[in-house]
């Protein structure tokens, strides 16, 4: 047996992260995005170009002072202003990327990856794509062995998403497929010959309309997850999952992240926080053809009452039968000029 002490064995070099545009480490290169923070924590994001310059009201910083340098160095502009230079993290990119539709915030995408059980190699079916924020998180989690098939009904949003995702990864992602259409139609077509998805992730106004198609596309034991903004959407999704019969009892929650102020002895919660973003609801798919065991519970009086659900106060939320409109659920339209501005900003490498 080899008795060489382990301390004498040279350590194996740590494997390097794949060198994709933002998903990588190493010295700064031309084309990289770099975040510059001054001593007041004012942030500027630049995209490195040979001979490029960053101008602020304070002075000028040559991009060449960063190219080839280590991530995390401190640089000085022509007037002596110091900047901490760092490659943006995924969460930084997500919060600043140009958008048409509202994105899912990092605190929620973190929950989605964990409780949606998005594993390396998973086959994920996602809708809608919106600005591509969550898509990027899903692609990072499934890795090169997995796949993300995204379905978006609006061509203009799909274009913003495609450009955001490709900007993040620096090229079209080999595990990503984006299709224009309604989830209900596309998922059923994809699953014509059998289930195709380990996980279904929905971020849209009416996920309850997609429950049947999701059940067809999901493998037995797969996970359904939806992100919704309002209680009425949450309730309708839960009831649709129960009514389907082949989903195990759904669970729902919301998360709050309260940032803290850290300064000497003044360590306390920040005064402000984003109190509400959305709710998450998940349910496991029972084996195909198997009715899921339901938990015995006595319904709360009135909770299933058609007369109550159809009361005029609930108009617009559909009650048991009715229809809903996007405005009923608090969605505001997105003006075409907002989409044009988002595309222009992505192409110019600008952050918001
Ligand atoms: C809030 S956005 C999604 C944002 C996205 N998760 C992100 O992080 O950037 C909702 C999107 O769902 C799309 N959508 C709504 N219903 C849909 C359906 N049934 N099938 C496909 N897309 C749908 C809308 O067009 C919209 O782009």
The CATH number covering residue 60 comes to 3.10.330.20
Mean pLDDT score across all residues of the chain: 88
pLDDT digits (tens, 9 = 90+) for 77-95: 999 999 999 999 999 988 8
Same structural domain, 122 and 258: yes
- Please tell me the predicted confidence (pLDDT) of residue 17: 44
- Which of 1-10, 126-135, 245-254, 266-275 is the least confident region? 1-10
- Which of 47-51, 53-57, 108-112, 294-298 is the least confident region? 294-298
| pLDDT tier, 187 (very low <50, low <70, confident <90, very high otherwise) | very high
- Please tell me the predicted confidence (pLDDT) of residue 253: 98
**Closest residue by CA, ligand 1 atom 12:** 128
- Which of 11-20, 117-126, 172-181 is the least confident region? 11-20
Atom of ligand 1 nearest to the CA of 104: 8
Same structural domain, 59 and 165: no
- Please tell me the predicted confidence (pLDDT) of residue 1: 44
Nearest CA among 189, 190, 96 for reference residue 136: 96
- Please tell me the predicted confidence (pLDDT) of residue 307: 65
Same structural domain, 198 and 79: no
Residue 303, strand partner residues:
none
Gap from CA of 102 to ligand 1 centroid (Å): 9
**Closest residue by CA, ligand 1 atom 26:** 130
**Closest residue by CA, ligand 1 atom 18:** 182
Same structural domain, 113 and 51: no
- Which of 9-18, 66-75, 102-111, 250-259 is the least confident region? 9-18
pLDDT exceeds cutoff 50 at 320? no
Instruction: Tell which of 89, 107, 135 closes a domain.
Output: 89
Q: What is the DSSP letter of 91?
A: H
Q: Say if residue 58 is exposed, middle or buried (CB neighbours under 10 Å; 0-12, 13-18, 19+).
A: middle
- Please indicate, yes or no, if residue 345 is contained in any of the structural domains: no
- Please indicate, yes or no, if residue 330 is contained in any of the structural domains: no
- Residue among 102, 106, 128 to mutate when testing ligand 1 (max atoms within 8 A of CB): 128
Q: Which domain holds residue 6?
A: 1-89
Same structural domain, 70 and 117: no
Gap from CA of 212 to ligand 1 centroid (Å): 18
Across 247-269, average pLDDT: 96
| pLDDT tier, 148 (very low <50, low <70, confident <90, very high otherwise) | very high
Same structural domain, 258 and 173: yes
Same structural domain, 158 and 251: yes
**Closest residue by CA, ligand 1 atom 14:** 128
pLDDT exceeds cutoff 60 at 19? no
Same structural domain, 74 and 128: no
Same structural domain, 30 and 145: no
- Please indicate, yes or no, if residue 28 is contained in any of the structural domains: yes
Gap from CA of 65 to ligand 1 centroid (Å): 41
Across 229-236, average pLDDT: 97
Q: Are 239 and 233 in contact (CB under 8 A)?
A: no
- Please indicate, yes or no, if residue 342 is contained in any of the structural domains: no
Atom of ligand 1 nearest to the CA of 131: 9
| pLDDT tier, 303 (very low <50, low <70, confident <90, very high otherwise) | low
Same structural domain, 60 and 192: no
- Please indicate, yes or no, if residue 189 is contained in any of the structural domains: yes
- Which of 97-106, 121-130, 240-249 is the least confident region? 97-106
> What is the count of structural domains for the chain?
2
Same structural domain, 248 and 148: yes
- How many CB atoms lie under 10 A from the CB of residue 91? 14
Is the model more confident about 305 or about 53? 53
Ligand 1 binding pocket, CB closer than 6 Å: 101-104, 127-128, 130-134, 151-154, 157, 182-184, 203-205, 210
pLDDT exceeds cutoff 90 at 162? yes
- Of the chain, the end-to-end C-alpha distance in Å amounts to 61
- Please tell me the predicted confidence (pLDDT) of residue 16: 45
- Please indicate, yes or no, if residue 290 is contained in any of the structural domains: yes
Gap from CA of 152 to ligand 1 centroid (Å): 6
Gap from CA of 144 to ligand 1 centroid (Å): 24
How far, in Å, CA of 24 to CA of 231, rounded?
39
Across 127-143, average pLDDT: 95
pLDDT exceeds cutoff 60 at 349? yes
pLDDT exceeds cutoff 90 at 312? no
Across 216-223, average pLDDT: 98
- Please indicate, yes or no, if residue 348 is contained in any of the structural domains: no
- Please tell me the predicted confidence (pLDDT) of residue 137: 96
How far, in Å, CA of 45 to CA of 98, rounded?
13
pLDDT digits (tens, 9 = 90+) for 29-70: 998 889 999 999 899 999 999 999 999 988 999 999 999 999
- Please indicate, yes or no, if residue 343 is contained in any of the structural domains: no
Atom of ligand 1 nearest to the CA of 182: 20
- Please tell me the predicted confidence (pLDDT) of residue 311: 63
- Residue among 130, 176, 334, 338 to mutate when testing ligand 1 (max atoms within 8 A of CB): 130
| pLDDT tier, 224 (very low <50, low <70, confident <90, very high otherwise) | very high
Same structural domain, 150 and 279: yes
Q: What are phi and psi of 204, to 5 degrees?
A: -160, 175
Q: Helix %, strand %, coil % for the chain, to 5?
A: 30, 20, 50
């Amino acid at each position: 047996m080899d008795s060489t002490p382990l301390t004498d064995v040279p350590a194996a070099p740590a494997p390097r992260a794949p060198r994709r545009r933002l998903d990588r480490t190493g010295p700064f290169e031309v084309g990289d995005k770099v975040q510059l923070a001054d001593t007041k924590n004012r942030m500027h994001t630049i995209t490195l170009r040979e001979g490029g310059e960053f101008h602020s009201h304070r002075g000028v910083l040559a991009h060449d002072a960063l190219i080839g340098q280590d991530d995390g160095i401190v640089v000085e502009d022509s007037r002596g202003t110091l900047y901490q230079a760092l490659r943006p993290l995924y969460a930084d990119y997500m919060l600043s990327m140009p958008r048409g539709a509202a994105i899912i915030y990092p605190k929620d995408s973190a929950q989605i990856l964990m409780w949606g059980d998005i594993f390396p190699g998973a086959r994920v079916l996602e809708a809608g794509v919106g600005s591509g924020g969550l898509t990027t998180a899903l692609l990072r989690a499934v890795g090169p062995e997995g796949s993300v098939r995204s379905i978006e009904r609006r061509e203009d949003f799909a274009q913003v998403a495609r450009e955001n995702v490709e900007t993040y990864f620096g090229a079209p992602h080999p595990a990503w497929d984006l299709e224009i259409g309604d989830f209900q139609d596309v998922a059923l077509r994809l699953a014509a010959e059998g289930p195709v998805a380990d996980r279904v992730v929905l971020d849209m106004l009416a996920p309850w309309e997609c429950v049947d198609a999701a059940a067809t596309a999901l493998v037995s034991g797969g996970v359904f997850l939806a992100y919704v903004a309002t209680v009425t959407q949450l309730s309708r999704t839960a009831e649709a999952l129960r009514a389907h019969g082949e989903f195990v009892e759904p669970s729902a929650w919301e998360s709050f992240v309260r940032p803290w102020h850290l300064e000497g002895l003044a360590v306390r919660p920040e005064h402000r926080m984003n109190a509400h973003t959305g709710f998450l609801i998940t349910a496991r798919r029972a084996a195909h053809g198997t009715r899921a065991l339901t938990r015995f519970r006595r319904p709360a009086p009135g909770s299933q009452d058609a007369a109550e659900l159809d009361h005029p106060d609930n108009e617009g939320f559909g009650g048991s039968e009715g229809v809903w409109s996007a405005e009923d659920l608090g969605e505001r339209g997105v003006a075409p000029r907002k989409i044009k501005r988002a595309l222009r900003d992505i192409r110019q490498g600008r952050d918001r």
